[in-house]
Structure 1
Amino acid sequence: MDQYYLNLLREKYSTPEAVYTELINLEAIQNLPKGTELYLSDVHGSSAAFEHILRTGAGNVREKLENYYGDEWTAEKKDWFSLLISYPEYALKHEPFESVKDNDWYADTIIHLVKFMGFCAVKYTRSKVRKALPQKYTYIIEELLYTDLTQRKKNLYYKNILNRLISLKQAEPFIIALSEVIQRLVIDHLHLVGDVFDRSSGEEQVMERLIQHHSVDLQWGNHDLLWMGAHFGSKANLITLLRIAARYGYLFELERTYGLNLRPLFLFAEENYDVTEAFRPKGAKHSSLLQEESEELLVKAHHALAVIQFKLEEQIIERRPEFQMANRKFLGKVDKVNQRVEIDGKVCELTDFPYDRIDENDPTLLSCEEEHIVDTLMESFQRSEKIRKYMAFLLEKGRMYLVYNGHLLFHGCLPMDANGDFQSVELEGRKVHGKSMLDAFDMYVRKASQSPDSSEDYATDVLWYAWAGDKSPLFGRNKMTTFERYYIKDKETHKEKRNAYFDLRENEDTVKKILHTFGLEHKSARIINGHTPVKVKKGESPIKAGGRLIVIDGGMNEAYRAATGIAGYSLLNNSYGFQIVTHQPFESVSDLFERGKDETSLKHVIDGKLERTLIKDTTIGTAIQKQIDILLEVVEYIQSQEILNEDKFSFDI
Structure 2
Amino acid sequence: MDKEHLHYLEQLSEMYPTIGKASSEIINLQAILNLPKGTEHFVSDVHGEYEAFSHVLKNGSGAVRKKIDDVFGEALNNSDKSALATLIYYPREKMELVKKEESDMDSWYKTTLYKLIEVCKTVSSKYTRSKVRKALPEEYAYVIEELITEKPEVLNKEAYYESIINTTVELGTAEEFIVVLSELIQRLAVDHLHVLGDIYDRGAGPHLIMDRLCKYHSLDIQWGNHDIIWMGAAAGNLTCIATVVRNCIRYGNLDVVEEGYGINMLPLATFAIKAYKDDPCSRFVFKVAPSGADNMESDLIKKMHKAIAIIRFKLEGQLIKKWPEYGMQNRLLLEHIDYDNGTIEIDGKTYQMLDTHFPTIDPSDPYRLTDDEEEVIQRLRSSFIHCEKLQTHVKLLLKKGSMYKIYNGNLLFHGCIPMKKDGSFAKVNIYGREYSGKALFDILDSYVRKAFFSGDEAEREKGRDIMWYIWTAPYSPLYGRRKMATFERYFLEEEELKTEKKNYYYDYINKPETADMILREFGLHDNINHIINGHVPVHRLRGESPVKSNGKVIVIDGGFSKAYRRRTGIAGYTLIYNSYGLTLTAHEPFESPETAVRDERDIVSKREAVEMLDKRILVGDTDIGFKMKEKIADLKLLIAAYRSGEIAEKDN
Under TM normalisation by the shorter chain, which class is it? over 0.9
Instruction: Work out whether residues 9 and 634 of structure 2, in 8 Å CA contact, stay in contact via their aligned partners in 1.
Output: no
Distance 2:255 2:212 in 1: 22
- Cα-Cα RMSD: 2.0
Of the structure 1 ranges 259-268 and 39-48, higher mean CA displacement relative to structure 2 is found in 259-268
Q: CA deviation at 1:383?
A: 0.5
Give the match for residue 611 of structure 2. 607
Q: For residues 643 and 337 of structure 2, what CA distance do their matches in structure 1 show?
A: 83
Where in structure 2 are the equivalents of 1:468-547 lying within 5 Å? 468-547=472-551
Quote the offset at 1:278 in angstroms: 2.0
TM-superposed CA distance for 1:123, in Å, is 1.0
1:240 aligns with 2:248: no
Q: Aligned-pair distance for 1:602?
A: 1.4
In the alignment, structure 1 residue 316 sits paired with structure 2 residue 323: no
**1:282 partnered with 2:268:** no
2:284–2:305: 8 Å Cα contact kept in structure 1?
yes
Separation of aligned partners in 1, 2:442 and 2:86? 43
Once the two structures are TM-superposed, the CA of residue 241 in structure 1 deviates from its matched residue by: 0.8
The Cα offsets for residues 353-378 of structure 1, whole Å up to 9 and x where unpaired, read as 33322112211000000000000000
- Percent identity of paired positions between Structure 1 and Structure 2: 42
Match of residue 132, structure 1, among 132, 135, 142: 135
Matches of 2:100 and 2:21, distance apart in 1: 49
SS at match of 2:308: helix
Match of residue 196, structure 1, among 192, 196, 199 = 199
Q: Give CA-to-partner distance per residue, 1:107-165, whole Å, 9 cap, x none.
A: 22112211211111111111111111111100011111225599554443333222221
**Residue 105, structure 1, aligned to residue 103, structure 2:** no
Q: Supply the AA of the counterpart residue of 2:229.
A: L
Mean Cα deviation higher: 138-147 or 396-405: 138-147
- Asked if 1:75 is matched to 2:78, the reply is yes
Tell me which amino acid in the other structure corresponds to 1:427.
I
Can you give the 5+ residue segments of structure 2 that lack an aligned partner in the other structure?
Answer: none
**How far apart in 1 are the matches of 2:441 and 2:143?**
49
> In 1, Cα distance between the equivalents of 2:559 and 2:370?
39
Alpha carbons of structure 1 residues 595 and 149: separation in structure 2 relative to 1, 3 Å: farther
Q: Would you say the 8 A contact 1:317–1:323 is kept in 2?
A: yes
Pairing partner for 2:185 from 171, 178, 182: 182
Distance 1:603 1:289 in 2: 38
**3-state SS in 1 of match to 2:359:** helix
Q: CA deviation at 1:76?
A: 1.1
2:570 is aligned to 566
CA contact (8 A) 1:577 1:610 kept: no
Which range is displaced more, 253-262 or 316-325?
253-262
Which of residues 406, 409, 414 is equivalent to 1:406? 409
1:552–1:569: 8 Å Cα contact kept in structure 2?
Answer: yes
Residue 275 of structure 1 and its aligned partner are, at CA, apart by: 2.6
| Paired residues for 1:574-653 under 5 Å | 574-641=578-645, 649-650=649-650
Residue 97 of structure 1 and its aligned partner are, at CA, apart by 7.4
AA aligned to 2:215 is Q
Partner of 1:53: 56
The equivalent residue for 1:168 is: 171
Contact 1:201-1:254 within 8 A present in 2 as well: no
The letter for the 2-side match of 1:141 is I
* CA distances 1:294-335 after superposition (whole Å, capped 9, x unpaired): 211111100000000000000011111111111111111111
Per-residue Cα deviation, 1:412-441 (whole angstroms, up to 9, x for no partner) = 001101211111111122100000000010
Paired residue secondary structure (1:572): strand
Conserved? CA contact 1:542–1:551, under 8 Å? yes
For residues 540-586 of structure 1, the C-alpha deviation after alignment (integer angstroms, 9 at most, x for no partner) is 11000010000000000101112111100000000111000000100
Partner-residue secondary structure (3-state), 2:574: strand
**Structure 2 counterparts to residues 6-85 of structure 1, below 5 A:** 6-85=9-88
Partner of 2:262: 259
Question: For the residues of structure 2 that align with 1:28 and 1:165, how far apart are their CA atoms?
Answer: 34
- Aligned-partner SS, 2:217: coil
| Corresponding residue for residue 347 of structure 1 | 350
Paired residues in the alignment total 646
Distance 2:207 2:362 in 1: 38
Q: 2:146 aligns with which of 126, 143, 148?
A: 143
Shift of 1:608: 2.7
Residue deviations 1:168-212, cap 9 Å, x none?
211000000000000011111000011110112201110011111
Letter in structure 1 aligned against 2:619 = I
Partners in 1 of 2:627 and 2:152 — Cα distance? 38
Q: Provide the C-alpha distance between the structure 2 equivalents of 1:546 and 1:335, rounded to a whole number of angstroms.
A: 52
Contact 2:404/2:414 (<8 A) preserved = yes
Q: Distance in 2 between matches of 1:98 and 1:531?
A: 45
Structure-1 separation of matches of 2:103 and 2:641: 64
Determine if contact 1:103/1:166 at 8 Å carries over to the other structure.
Answer: yes
1:337 aligns with 2:340: yes
Tell me how far apart the structure 1 counterparts of residues 382 and 459 of structure 2 sit (CA, whole Å): 12
Distance change >3 Å, CA 246–CA 180, structure 1 → 2: same
Change in CA separation of 1:258 and 1:455 when aligned onto 2, cut-off 3 Å = farther
Gaps of 5+ in 1: none
The amino acid that maps onto 1:299 is: K
Q: Which moved more, 1:589-598 or 1:202-211?
A: 589-598
- Scaled by the length of structure 1, the TM-score of the pair is 0.96
User: 1:603 is aligned with what amino acid?
Assistant: R
Aligned mates of 1:101, 1:462 — CA distance in 2: 63
Amino acid in the other structure paired with 1:622: F
What are the Cα deviations for residues 491-516 of structure 1, in whole angstroms up to 9, with x where unaligned?
11111111010111011000000000
Alignment-derived partner of residue 549 in structure 1: 553
Equivalent residue of 1:447, what SS? helix
| Whole-angstrom distance in 2 between the partners of 1:349 and 1:493 | 13
In terms of mean alpha carbon deviation, does 602-611 or 367-376 score higher? 602-611
Q: Match for 1:483: what amino acid?
A: F
**Secondary structure at the counterpart of residue 11 of structure 1:** helix
CA distance in 1, matches of 2:152, 2:643: 44
Quick one: structure 1 residues 252 and 33, their matched pair in 2 at CA, closer, same or farther if it must change by over 3 Å?
Answer: closer
Tell me the residue number matched to 2:120: 117
Aligned residue identity for 1:270: I
Assess if the C-alpha contact under 8 Å between 1:585 and 1:600 holds in 2: no
Taking structure 1 as reference, are residues 3 and 48 closer, same or farther at Cα in structure 2, changes over 3 Å only? same
Change (3 A) 1:85 1:149: farther
Instruction: For 2:430 and 2:596, locate their aligned partners in 1 and report how far apart those are by CA, in whole Å.
Output: 51
User: How far apart, CA to CA, are the structure 1 residues paired with 2:62 and 2:187?
Assistant: 13
Q: Secondary structure at 2:15's aligned position in 1? A: coil
Q: Which secondary structure state, in structure 2, belongs to the residue aligned with residue 480 of structure 1?
A: coil
Alpha-carbon distance between aligned partners in 1 of 2:203 and 2:119, rounded to the nearest angstrom: 37
User: Structure 1: how far apart are the matches of 2:69 and 2:202?
Assistant: 36
Shift of 1:280: 1.4
Check whether the contact 1:92–1:98 (CA below 8 A) recurs between aligned residues: no
Bigger Cα displacement from structure 2, 429-438 vs 100-109: 100-109
C-alpha distance in 2, partners of 1:32/1:456?
A: 45
Contact 1:188 1:215 in 2 (8 A): yes
Residues 252/178 of structure 1: CA separation in 2 closer, same or farther (3 Å cut): closer
**Residues 28 and 455 (structure 1), Cα distance of their counterparts in 2 relative to 1, 3 Å cut:** closer
Helix, strand or coil at the partner of 2:42: strand
**365, 369, 388: which one aligns with 1:362:** 365
> Mean Cα displacement is larger for which, 5-14 or 563-572?
5-14
